[in-house]
Amino acid sequence: MEGEMRKTEQKIVVAVDESEESMHALSWCLSNFFPNNTNNTLVLLYVKPPPPVYSSVDAAGYMFSADVTKAMEQYGSDMVNSVMRRAEAVYRNFETDINVQRVVGCGEAKDVICGVVEKLKADTLVMGSHGYGFIKRVLLGSVSDYCAKHVKCPVVIVKHPEEK
C-alpha cells in the first residue's frame, strides 16, 4: 500500500449508549479527530438490545398483552432519542461544523458494532471503557475487547478519567 495517498476524509464511528463513559469517549474523539475545517464524518452508533423473546404466555403463566410489548418498544425508542440528544449536546459544544451520521442498530452490541463498522468501511472505531473489573469482564465479556479483535480498522478505547 505504499504510494497510496492517505485519505483526507475519515469516517469515525463512536459507539454511544446511556453511560457517562460513552459520552466521555465522544468528547475525546471530537477533541482528537475533528480539528477545525475537517471533512471527517462522525458516525454516532447506538445499539438497542435485542427484543426479548416471549411467547404469549411466559413461564410463570402470565399473559403478555400487546400493550406491555408496545410499552417496551416505546421505551427502546425513547432511550435512542435520549442518547442521541445527549450526544448532540456534546458535539454542539465544538466550534467546528461536523458531518454527523446517526446509526441505530438492534441486537447484541458487539455483533452490531462490528457489522456497522465493516459495512460503513469506517477508518476508526471509538468506544468508552466501562471499567469492569476482571471477574465481571470474564463473565460478561467486554464488547470493546471483542470489537478490537474483530474489526479491520483501528479501535480506540477511551478510559474515563476516574478509571484506574
pLDDT, tens only, 99-154: 899 999 988 899 999 999 999 999 999 999 876 666 665 555 688 889 999 999 99
pTM, rounded to two decimals: 0.79
Q: Convert the pLDDT of each residue in 66-111 to its tens digit.
A: 666 676 677 778 888 899 999 998 988 876 678 899 999 988 899 9
**Highest mean pLDDT (candidates 36-40, 59-63, 135-139):** 36-40
What pLDDT is attached to residue 1? 44
Average pLDDT over residues 21-45: 89
What pLDDT is attached to residue 60? 53
Reduce the DSSP state of residue 119 to 3 states and report it. helix
Strand arrangement, sheet containing 11-16: 99-106, 41-48, 11-16, 124-128, 155-158
Helix axes 109-120, 143-150, angle to 10 degrees: 30
Cα–Cα distance for residue pair 142/102, rounded to 1 Å: 23
